[in-house]
Structures are given as C-alpha cells and as structure tokens.
Structure 1
Amino acid sequence: MSKTSRIYIPPTVRKYVFERDLYHCRSCGKNNLETNLAIDHIIPLARGGQNDISNLQTLCFACNQRKSDRLDRRFRRYFDT
C-alpha cells in the first residue's frame, strides 16, 4: 500500500465537511462550541486513503490525536486484510 501525498484542504471544502457533519466530532459528538474541530482523513493517507471529500470527516483535536494514523474502528470491517 502506497502513501498518498498530503494536499492543502481549501477553506470551501473544510466548510462543506464541517457543515455536512453539523459541526460535531464524528467520534465523541462534541460540537464547535465545546471544543476545537479539525478535518481528518477517515482512511489515513499513510494507509492509502485519498484526499477525496468522501474520505474527510470532522473530529475534535483530542479524537484526532488519539486516532493518529490508525483506521477508525467503525470502518475496520471493510478494510480487514
């Protein structure tokens, strides 16, 4: 599996992902009034994930740090080898 190059996520795409996810962390559920939110790759670039908008999600900084470059366990069943 080859690593995908990281690209800059434009502000319009960031806004779209935040709005799509209702400004809530997809892992813990905290909203933008409770914590700082970030854009994260569901399938990490280091694991072959793409920079496609369908591979982006909203996470708070704490959940993003905890996830690191691991696959989100909610999606593991689709990517077990």
Structure 2
Amino acid sequence: MSKTPRIRIPPEVKKYVFQRDQYQCRSCGKTNVETNLSIDHIMPLARGGQNDISNLQTLCFTCNQQKTDNIDPRFRRYFQL
C-alpha cells in the first residue's frame, strides 16, 4: 500500500464537509460552538487513503489528535485490513 500525496483541501470542499457533517465532530459530537473543528481523512493517507470527498470527515482537534494515522474503528469494516 503506497502513501497518497497530501494536497491542500480547497475551502469550498471544507465548507461542504462541515455542512454535510452539520458542524459536529463525527467522533464525539461536539459542535463548532464548543470546540475547534478540522477536516480529517477517514482512511489515513499514510495507509493508502485518498483525497476524495467521501474519505473526509469533521473531527474536533482532540479527537483528531487521538486518531493520529489510525483507522477510525467505525469505518474499519469498509476496508480490507
């Protein structure tokens, strides 16, 4: 499995993902009023994930730091590991 190169996520894609995820962390449920939110790859680029919009999710800073380059267990069943 080769690492996918990191590209800058365009502002309009970030806005779409935040809106799609209702401005809530997909892991703990905190909103943008409670914490700083960021865009994260569900399947990490380091593990062969893609820069596709379907591989992006909203996470708060804390959950993103805890996840690091691991695979979110909620999505593990969708990937051959």
Same fold (TM over 0.5): yes
Aligned alpha-carbon RMSD (Å): 0.8
Corresponding residue for 1:26? 26
Take 1:51 and 1:79, find their aligned partners in 2: how far apart are those partners?
A: 16
> TM-score when scaled to structure 1?
0.96
Take 1:73 and 1:15, find their aligned partners in 2: how far apart are those partners?
A: 25
Residue 59 (structure 1) shift: 0.1
Residue 30 (structure 1) shift: 0.1
Take 2:62 and 2:69, find their aligned partners in 1: how far apart are those partners?
A: 14
Residue 51 (structure 1) shift: 0.2
State the secondary structure of the residue aligned to 1:38: strand
Can you list the C-alpha shifts for 1:1-50, whole angstroms capped at 9, x where unaligned?
00000000011000000000000000000000000000000000000000
> TM-score when scaled to structure 2?
0.96
What percentage of aligned pairs have identical amino acids? 77
Count of matched residue positions in the alignment of Structure 1 and Structure 2: 81
Take 1:60 and 1:15, find their aligned partners in 2: how far apart are those partners?
A: 15
Residue 80 (structure 1) shift: 4.3
